[in-house]
Structure 1
């Protein structure tokens, strides 16, 4: 088992009945806007996270597809869980930008993935996180990069 607090919590709760739902709700409470898409953390491991969310009225746009801002919200949730579960203890992160391309209509439930290359956390202040959202048939609907600013944690006083 990992020594990372978020991975430990995920690994413990995922073994329980409805454990991923419990973990996902706890995680979404840390950044309340994640709750708007009701993300379910399906898989979390170092350098990778996959969340899913249901297509429902609250996340649809005027043409009945999933709104791209809801998708970006899920991508940011996946990135946040992945970053928090992966970053070395002496570093901290903050998002500094997101570049995305809309590649297809999002007409179903959505799966959002965030991942980085192994060792990416030690490569300097800018860590690019690859993000992809797919509809139920596997077609990518949004692809892009979330850029993170990574710095040393200040010394504790």
Structure 2
């Protein structure tokens, strides 16, 4: 079982486990600490986290800033990739394409998803579907993060 998924599964059983996991995740990748992600789900092919709506991530309109949203999407994608990637493979992000579809006026749930067959197809180009949703269910950002998945020996 991948290390991130193993840690998530163990931490999730504890009362403050998801918060502890989220802190550990941001210690490993400090840039993600800027949005204070609260992971809610990590598993093969799916990961979700919440970006709290707080002043530190606001833009001049008082809504969650576009780059904070992208940061949340990338953190969710990274957790998904680490929890899903087959043994002997590695991944690296190649690019991100997103559309901002509504104002981010609440906490935002960022979700990344793939299909199982994407990881075994042999095609190194792997698109990860991402979206951010307000508390009322409105999608505020959606798009794709493209990964390059290759053998570790390459």
Residue 17 of structure 1, CA deviation:
1.3
For residues 7 and 65 of structure 2, the distance between their equivalents in structure 1, rounded to whole angstroms, comes to 31
1:38 and 2:36 are equivalent in the alignment: yes
* Root mean square deviation, CA, Å: 0.9
Deviation at 1:154, TM superposition (A): 1.4
CA distance in 1, matches of 2:102, 2:2: 36
Alignment deviations for residues 10-44 of structure 1 (CA, whole Å, 9 cap, x no partner): 01111101100000110111111100000011001
Question: What is the distance in 2 between the residues matched to 1:47 and 1:39?
Answer: 19
Match of 2:145 in 1: 146
Report the TM-score when normalising by structure 2: 0.97
Match of residue 6 from structure 2: 8
- The gaps in structure 2 that reach 5 residues or longer are none
> What TM-score results when the alignment is normalised by the length of structure 1?
0.95
CA–CA distance in 2 between the matches of 1:28 and 1:132? 20
Instruction: Tell me the matched-pair count.
Output: 153
How far off its partner does 1:129 sit?
0.1
Q: Secondary structure at the match of 2:93?
A: strand
How far apart are the structure 1 equivalents of 2:86 and 2:27?
23
Establish whether residue 55 from structure 1 lines up as the match of residue 53 from structure 2: yes
- Spell out the pairing of 1:111-126 with structure 2 (5 A cutoff): 111-123=109-121, 124-126=123-125
* Worse-matched range after superposition: 94-103 or 113-122: 113-122
Gaps of 5+ in 1: none
